[in-house]
Amino acid sequence: MRLNIKTTLKTLWWILVLVFIGFFLIGNLHRVETVIHQLPLSTIIYSICALAIGKLFLVAIMHQSLQQYQVKLSAQHCFIIYNLTQLGKYIPGSIWQFIGRIGLYKEAGLSNQAIRDTILLETFWVVFSALSLGLCLISITQYELLISLFSQLPSRLIIFAICIAGIVLLIASFGPWRNIILDYSRRLTYTPASLMISLFIWFSLGFSFWITLLPLSSIEIGLVYIIGLYALSYAVGFVVPFAPAGIGIRETILVFGLIPYLETNTSIILATLNRVFYITIEIALASIVMLLKYHTTSYK
């Protein structure tokens, strides 16, 4: 019953996103054409290449999570498994990519425990690195705005937040889940390789968006800020339960983050264009994998 409700909500969200895109295109078709014409071909190529590199680094983080648990799968095998399952995240339900991954892992001989642990580790590395890096870079680049907002908060609200944080830490330290939390904290620790790969992921994906902003902005937009904004949008989009692949959520955060720099309709177009490029890369990589598998099978 709960699964049906979640699937229904995600389907409705998909419909809402598509309806919004439809009405936006109808009302802003001329603006869309103008924005696309203002983007040099070289910029589009660089953006797509950066997205492709980011996707390859995501495969690398998957490979690292397997190695962390001494699972011996080649980089090529990881490339095939990862890209065969990625499009499943757009199907309402948001579990199909994991179901596909589990099935392919079982074919490769992984145990249920290894499958659970490696997927959990990979997901944590990706999402936590996106969230922490995003918050850190935005705080560094927008510290004056944050200080202004913080100074406007009522002192009682700040004290309340500190108390809640203290209670959570107290429960984690002395509660019945203490050993489980500590155990998973040790197991989810970043390795030097996974940390570097995570940074490369967000640099590549953030750069892919930033480079498309430059021809359309009269105000300088910092690369560091956009990397942080993109990483944060990815993390929030990942954890929102009703948005498959964070679609609509990621774009909304990007648009709000660009309010000081670009006109809103332009931001919407560029954020949507980045998603189109992203999905195009995923389809291209999945097609390459399918062709490789077909070619390999036909010669057996």
Q: Scanning the structure block, which residue is given the tokens 């993390």?
A: 235
Q: Estimate to the nearest angstrom the gap between the alpha carbon of 149 and the chain centroid.
A: 27
What's the chain's average pLDDT? 83
Q: What is the pTM of this model?
A: 0.85
Tokens for 29, please give them. 């078709």
Render the burial of 78-109: b for 16+ CB within 10 Å, e for the rest: bbbbbbbbbbbbebbbbbbbeebbbebbeebe
The separation between the first and the last C-alpha atoms of the chain, rounded to the nearest angstrom, is 45
Of 55-59, 70-74, 162-166, which gets the smallest average pLDDT?
A: 162-166
pLDDT mean over 274-293: 89
Distance set, CA 67 to CA 35, 78, 108 (Å) = 44, 11, 14
User: Region 68-77: what's the mean pLDDT?
Assistant: 88
Per mean pLDDT, which range of 1-15, 107-121, 129-143, 190-204 is the poorest? 1-15
The yes-or-no verdict on residue 298 having pLDDT over 50 is no
Beta strands, E only, the chain: none
The predicted-structure confidence for 181-223, as pLDDT tens digits, reads as follows 555 556 678 889 999 999 999 999 999 999 999 999 888 899 9
Residue 249 pLDDT:
87
Residue 110 gets which letter from DSSP?
Answer: -
Model confidence band, residue 151 (pLDDT cutoffs 50, 70, 90): low
Q: Supply the pLDDT for residue 125.
A: 92
pLDDT at 300: 45
How far is the C-alpha of 228 from the C-alpha of 234, rounded, in Å?
10
State the pLDDT at residue 1. Answer: 47
For residue 242, give the amino acid letter.
Answer: F
Is the pLDDT reported for residue 108 higher than 70?
yes
Helix/strand/coil for 162: helix
User: Residue 27 pLDDT > 90, yes or no?
Assistant: no
pLDDT digits (tens, 9 = 90+) for 219-271: 889 999 999 999 999 999 888 777 777 888 899 999 999 988 999 999 999 99
- Write down the pLDDT at residue 159: 63
